[in-house]
Amino acid sequence: MRIESAECGKCGICVDFCPEGLLEKQGFKIVIHDGCTNCKKCLEGCPLGAIKFDDE
Ligand code: SF4
Ligand code: SF4
């Protein structure tokens, strides 16, 4: 997954949606740690549609 920076409001909601704990809010940015399984759970949490998957 990736986060489209221009569309992301840095609200941090997606952080709590990742079952692997890979998303981290660091100040005014969201860090994506290695190990993403592309489960798309974080997608459900994003109110702005900023989370993208390259298979779409
Ligand atoms: S796709 Fe799944 S594993 Fe990857 S960041 Fe989103 S919730 Fe976490
Ligand atoms: S939920 Fe969406 S808008 Fe909020 S920080 Fe995550 S990617 Fe950005």
Domains by residue range for the chain, with CATH = 2-48 (3.30.70.20)
- Which of 4, 11, 16, 52 for a ligand 2 pocket mutation test, highest count of atoms within 8 Å of Cβ? 11
Two structure tokens written together for 30 = 């969201």
Q: How far is the CA of 36 from the centre of ligand 1 (A)?
A: 5
State how far the Cα of 27 lies from the Cα of 19, in Å rounded to an integer.
21
Which phi and psi angles does 30 have, rounded to 5°? -110, 125
What is the β-pairing status of strands 23-25 and 2-3? unpaired
What pLDDT, on the 0 to 100 scale, is given for residue 56?
57
What pLDDT, on the 0 to 100 scale, is given for residue 55?
73
CB of 42 sitting under 6 A from ligand 1: yes
Q: How far is the CA of 29 from the centre of ligand 1 (A)?
A: 16
Per-residue pLDDT 10s for the chain (56 aa) are 999 999 999 999 999 999 999 999 999 999 999 999 999 999 999 999 999 998 75
What pLDDT, on the 0 to 100 scale, is given for residue 34?
98
CB of 23 sitting under 6 A from ligand 1: yes
